[in-house]
């Protein structure tokens, strides 16, 4: 999950800088910036009267500046950008930056208007023209005179109206000087803050993806508008400047003020605006060389570097970068790869070419305080971002409707890169739990959407932000993994390398990848497909959802249908393929693998592969869950599989043991099997010690918890889980010598956490004593934390839940004093585990105060409180009361609104809650829901499904748990 950008291009430094400095001094003194800061159409005092389109007026959609997509008349060739951020507020209390830009572009279609993106920038009037820009021809080109300029807020354009037409084939250059706010809004060129030894430090940094490069300088801000960039940064001499490229040479003092330095960076390759990055900070770094002699640097706060928190990232970045170079059969195209951890960052990370930005918790790792989960996050996020350096940066999707190809691909191969760096962890298996099963819960809704949409459906910044969802990332990853599996990884890599070589420094649509994979298939004979790659894959990306494959082992019948969690849901989105897929089917019979089979787009077939010929035979489909589908069986086969699991589970691969549980629960939700059959699939867990089956069960049962933890069902449910987890808890107690050492493998370490968390939350007294004693020891000696980092999240949460205000206040104090972001994150999440209503209400109020809870953490903190059954109604009241403020503070394009709406509404299962949700939608329609619009519709659908499910299953579930908890 990533976002960010970079900018570049230089002008003759000294002449520009002297002029810019003088002009900006005038601007700062003359503009009442504080009164104007929320307008996009701000003007300096020397500007002519502004012509600004108001969003309130009727919009003439025939005018190109009222359309969200840029016209094709002009294409950029290069930019020269100079930026000077100020690291203390001006007289109006604002942090600002000053800049100048020269963009060179070519006219492809005759036009008398220049339309370029610009957002929240104040322009300096240019002399002698009196306009915001100066236009000149390149070579023999003669520029027409400027008639007027205007800023259009709605579409975020600077529009230059000309008195005559630009000539087709001619090049022009346009100069501008501007001022913007270096705000703390996590977008464009923004301000991040932290404290070091009690002193406030300010970082000027960037996040351009998807539509915020325009907030830093005027640009053609669409991914297909690739150009080269020359960046020059002016900054105080006690700081360091970074950008996508290395500096051209040594930094030099600013002539008129030698306390400021000037750094000019090398010209970038041809690239998209959203990948630009420039950062000015007081950070320190670690440095090494990759196996391919690429400079690798890890940047972070000086204290973090000094304490070794960047060492792990440094050790893996070079090897992963080298791995992808070989995987893509394409050398890394830049001289260096910087990774930088930022205190304030909206996404997890952003793949800016050559300067990747991260949340600190996704880059920094402290062996003394960070858990194995933190370590896994670092290696997978670094792998994700480095995968983008080729797939996304070197070759870029033409428009955001194909974002799934960019993010889905990186979300798949991150597991390959991470597996290369940590080969003993079996990380590749985790894609099933972390991505596939996570996204299936959304993709099985009637309100889901296809991976790829027509380009015309995605236009506004809010619509673009909405595309950055779990479908694009996790479904994209899942179907590409399936494609790689049925092609074979070698064939997949061959087609991929061909694609990258053909389109380097260009833009593509998804069909281009299919074409190159098809060429690879055509050049060999070992892999035979039932249809072309395009014909197979279009059914997976152009229609939403996924198939349910149903097997009747009595007859050998195999059929498919569009799987919906709510059987009463009405699918209104049409499909050209009638919701039928071309499905690769793998299977095992009594533990022995059978031949692969293709269900070739038909609804039903019959084949002896799927018929049990003997009374004790069972058949299981989708080996290692490489196919993006779920499986149902006749009841007799279900019982045979469950009997095999209770007799000897090792006959069934570990991922498929998780699959049996996951699919059974989803099928029960869809009323395809009884809820008791699904619950029966968990009985073997009393003898299971592997992570993936336990994780699948706990994940599936978490829905039962959400539906029933406010009802009489919850008591017997806790009793059953307590009985099932007791042997696992004892297993890990013995394996770890009474919790003194950690288990040897990653999966075992994860399942140790599951054992403690499940045992404590379901009332196992031995577990409650363990966590309260550990927490008490810490409280008695705060300088020494006896709790192993792996166990801290679950120990903190359960100790705070068992404790009082004393435990909460201690944890809050530790949170405020935490120097490592991973530790702060564990405490911040655990503070939401309190059972005291007044404490949770106080905690919620803290999320509106960015000095207590960082803006980037506010929504996840609110969701953590909502996950607590005591906190859920408080959060719902809080969100309804504060929606307008939350929306204004975070902006409609914020990626967090989807998660917020999903998190707050996940327990909704009554008519009263449905009514409240509908009222919330109606009452806030004028404010809007931004990137959460689709999530709100999904929440309404999910709530209706929950109401029906509880009505139909409550009694049977209560009876089953009561019987099986004995």
> How far is it, in rounded angstroms, from Cα 134 to Cα 176?
7
Q: How far apart are the first and last CA of the chain?
A: 45
The answer to whether the beta carbons of residues 560 and 580 sit under 8 Å apart is: yes
Short-list 370, 300, 369, 294, CA closest to 325: 294
Q: How far is CA 96 from the centre of its chain?
A: 29
> How far is it, in rounded angstroms, from Cα 300 to Cα 339?
9
> How far is it, in rounded angstroms, from Cα 530 to Cα 538?
14
Q: How far is CA 427 from the centre of its chain?
A: 19
In Å, how far are 328, 482, 514, 780 from 487, measured between CA atoms?
16, 9, 12, 59
> How far is it, in rounded angstroms, from Cα 619 to Cα 624?
14
Short-list 886, 798, 901, 893, CA closest to 847: 886
In Å, how far are 332, 582, 755 from 530, measured between CA atoms?
36, 8, 45
Would strands 157-162 and 199-207 be described as parallel, antiparallel, or unpaired? unpaired
Q: How far is CA 548 from the centre of its chain?
A: 27
Q: Could you tell me the two tokens for 766? A: 């031995």
Three-state SS for 755? helix
Asked if 385 is an active-site residue, the reply is: yes
DSSP labels, 81-135: EEEEE-SS--TTS--EEEEEEEEEEEESS--SEEEEE--SEEEPPBTTTTBSEEE
Q: Could you tell me the two tokens for 59? A: 């919009």
> How far is it, in rounded angstroms, from Cα 450 to Cα 475?
10
> How far is it, in rounded angstroms, from Cα 359 to Cα 864?
19
> How far is it, in rounded angstroms, from Cα 308 to Cα 312?
8
> How far is it, in rounded angstroms, from Cα 553 to Cα 612?
5
The radius of gyration of the chain's CA atoms, rounded to the nearest angstrom, is: 29
Q: Could you tell me the two tokens for 79? A: 């930019």
> How far is it, in rounded angstroms, from Cα 223 to Cα 506?
10
- The CA-CA-CA angle for residues 734, 738, 740, to 5°, reads 120
Catalytic residue (one of 385, 407, 752, 941): 385
Look-up: residue for tokens 């060429």?
519
Residues belonging to the active site: 385
């Amino acid at each position: 999950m990533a976002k960010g950008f970079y900018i570049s291009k230089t002008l003759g430094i000294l002449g520009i800088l002297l002029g810019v400095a003088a002009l900006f001094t005038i601007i700062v003194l003359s503009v009442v910036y504080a009164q104007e800061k929320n307008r996009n159409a701000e003007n300096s005092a020397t500007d002519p009267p502004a012509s600004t389109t108001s969003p309130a007026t009727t919009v003439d959609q025939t005018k190109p500046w009222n359309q969200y997509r840029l016209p094709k008349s002009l294409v950029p060739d290069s930019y020269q950008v100079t930026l000077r951020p100020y690291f203390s507020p001006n007289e109006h209390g604002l942090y600002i930056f000053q800049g100048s830009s020269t963009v060179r572009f070519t006219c492809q279609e005759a036009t008398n208007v220049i339309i370029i993106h610009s957002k929240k920038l104040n322009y300096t009037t240019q002399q002698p023209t009196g306009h915001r820009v100066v236009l000149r021809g390149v070579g023999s080109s003669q520029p027409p005179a400027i008639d007027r300029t205007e800023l259009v807020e709605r579409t975020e354009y600077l529009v230059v109206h000309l008195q005559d037409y630009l000539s087709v084939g001619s090049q022009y250059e346009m100069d501008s000087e501007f001022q913007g706010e270096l705000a703390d809004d996590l977008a464009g060129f923004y301000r991040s803050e932290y404290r070091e030894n009690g002193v406030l430090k300010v970082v000027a940094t960037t996040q351009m993806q998807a539509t915020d490069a325009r907030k830093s300088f005027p640009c053609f801000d669409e991914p297909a508008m690739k150009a080269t960039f020359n960046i020059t940064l002016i900054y105080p001499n006690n700081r360091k400047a970074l950008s996508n490229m290395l500096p051209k040479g040594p930094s030099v003092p600013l002539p008129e003020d030698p306390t400021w330095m000037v750094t000019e960076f090398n010209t970038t390759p041809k690239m998209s605006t959203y990948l630009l990055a420039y950062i000015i900070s007081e950070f320190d770094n670690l440095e090494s060389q990759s196996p391919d002699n690429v400079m690798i640097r890890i940047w972070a706060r000086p204290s973090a570097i000094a304490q070794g928190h960047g060492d792990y990232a440094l050790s893996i970045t070079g090897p992963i970068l080298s791995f992808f170079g070989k995987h893509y059969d394409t050398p890394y195209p830049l001289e260096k790869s910087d990774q930088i951890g930022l205190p304030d960052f909206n996404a997890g990370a952003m793949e800016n070419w050559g300067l990747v930005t991260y949340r600190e918790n996704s880059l920094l790792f402290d062996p003394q305080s960070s858990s194995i989960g933190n370590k896994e996050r670092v290696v997978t996020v670094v792998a994700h971002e480095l995968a983008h350096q080729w797939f996304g940066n070197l070759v870029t999707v033409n428009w955001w409707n194909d974002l799934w190809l960019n993010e889905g691909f990186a979300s798949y191969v991150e597991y390959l890169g991470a597996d290369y760096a940590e080969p003993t962890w079996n990380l590749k298996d985790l894609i099933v739990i972390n991505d596939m099963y996570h996204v299936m819960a959304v993709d099985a809704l009637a309100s889901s959407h296809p991976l790829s949409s027509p380009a015309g459906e995605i236009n506004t910044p809010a619509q673009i932000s909405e595309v950055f969802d779990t479908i694009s990332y996790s479904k994209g990853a899942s179907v590409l993994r399936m494609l790689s599996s049925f092609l074979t990884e070698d064939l997949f890599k061959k087609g991929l390398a061909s694609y990258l070589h053909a389109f380097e420094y260009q833009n593509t649509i998804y069909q281009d990848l299919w074409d190159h994979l098809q060429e690879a298939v055509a050049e060999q004979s070992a892999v035979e497909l039932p249809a072309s790659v395009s014909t197979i894959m279009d059914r997976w990306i152009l229609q939403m959802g996924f198939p349910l494959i149903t097997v009747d082992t009595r007859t050998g019948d195999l059929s498919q249908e569009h799987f919906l969690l709510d059987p009463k849901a009405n699918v209104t989105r049409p499909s050209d393929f009638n919701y039928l897929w071309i499905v690769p089917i793998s299977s095992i019979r009594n533990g022995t693998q059978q031949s692969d089979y293709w269900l070739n787009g038909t609804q039903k077939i019959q084949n002896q592969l799927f018929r049990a010929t003997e009374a004790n035979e069972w058949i299981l489909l989708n080996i290692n869950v490489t196919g993006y589908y779920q499986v149902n069986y006749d009841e007799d086969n279900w019982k045979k599989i469950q009997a095999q699991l209770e007799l000897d589970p090792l006959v069934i691969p570990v991922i498929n043991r998780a699959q049996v549980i996951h699919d059974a629960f989803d099928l029960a939700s869809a009323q395809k099997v009884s809820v008791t059959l699904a619950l029966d699939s968990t009985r073997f867990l009393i003898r299971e010690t592997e992570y993936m089956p336990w994780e699948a069960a706990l994940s599936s049962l978490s829905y039962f918890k959400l539906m029933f933890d406010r009802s009489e069902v919850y008591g017997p449910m806790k009793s059953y889980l307590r009985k099932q987890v007791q042997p696992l808890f004892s297993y890990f107690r013995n394996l770890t010598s009474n919790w003194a050492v950690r288990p040897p493998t990653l999966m075992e370490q994860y399942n140790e956490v599951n054992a403690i968390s499940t045992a404590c939350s379901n009332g196992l007294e031995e577990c409650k004593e363990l966590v309260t004693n550990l927490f008490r020891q810490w409280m008695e000696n705060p300088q020494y934390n006896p709790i192993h980092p792996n166990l801290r999240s679950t120990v903190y949460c359960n100790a705070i839940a068992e404790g009082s205000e004393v435990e909460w206040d201690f944890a809050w104090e530790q949170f405020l004093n935490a120097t490592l972001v991973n530790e702060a994150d564990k405490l911040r999440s655990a503070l939401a585990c309190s059972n005291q209503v007044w404490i949770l209400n106080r905690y919620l109020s803290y999320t509106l105060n960015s000095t207590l809870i960082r803006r980037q953490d506010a929504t996840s903190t609110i969701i953590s409180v909502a996950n607590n059954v005591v906190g859920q109604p408080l959060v719902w009241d809080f969100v309804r009361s504060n929606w307008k403020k939350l929306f204004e503070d975070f902006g409609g394009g914020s990626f967090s609104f989807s998660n917020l709406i999903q998190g707050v509404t996940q327990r909704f299962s009554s008519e009263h809650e449905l009514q409240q949700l509908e009222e919330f939608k109606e009452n806030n329609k004028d404010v809007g829901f931004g990137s959460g619009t689709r999530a709100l519709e999904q929440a309404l659908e999910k709530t209706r499904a929950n109401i029906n499910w509880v009505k139909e299953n409550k009694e049977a579930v209560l009876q089953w748990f009561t019987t099986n908890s004995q």
